[in-house]
Amino acid sequence: MVLSKKINYEVLANNNDVKLEGVVETARAVCHELCQPLQGALTFVELLLQNMPKENNLYDFSINIKQNIDEIANITRKLNNITKYEIKEYVAGVNIIDIHKASSDFPSNSIMIKPFHCNVHKKINSK
């Protein structure tokens, strides 16, 4: 009976490793695909803000765009740092990866993520 439970735990652990590997590969692909357009959007909004007086009607909108780009960059950072398989219920009966719980700044799982850098993760000083 104890051996059976041990084997079941090992099978579950192996299944989770396979799932994690798939999640990590998908997350890397998403980060890769988002990085270039995100960098372009960030560059354009920075240029707008550098040359735009705060009194301009579009200044607050531009700041909001930049803040949203920063948030997307934070999400891509978390995607890139997924180190464990964690799910949460999205809608009734549908599970999704819990990006916040699954990511770690210091990978400790046996499946390690090689660093993937995207320039959009830098913080920008706004006027």
Is 127 a domain residue? no
Q: Specify the pLDDT at position 47.
A: 95
Q: 87: helix, coil or strand? A: strand
Give me the domain span that covers residue 47.
2-121
Q: What percent of the chain has pLDDT over 70?
A: 69
CA distances from 58 to 39, 50, 112 (A): 21, 13, 43
Is 98 a domain residue? yes
Is 49 a domain residue? yes
* pLDDT lower than 50: segments of the chain: 106-117, 119-127
Whole-structure pTM value: 0.64
Is 48 a domain residue? yes
Is 84 a domain residue? yes
Q: Specify the pLDDT at position 69.
A: 94
> How many domains in the chain?
1
Is 126 a domain residue? no
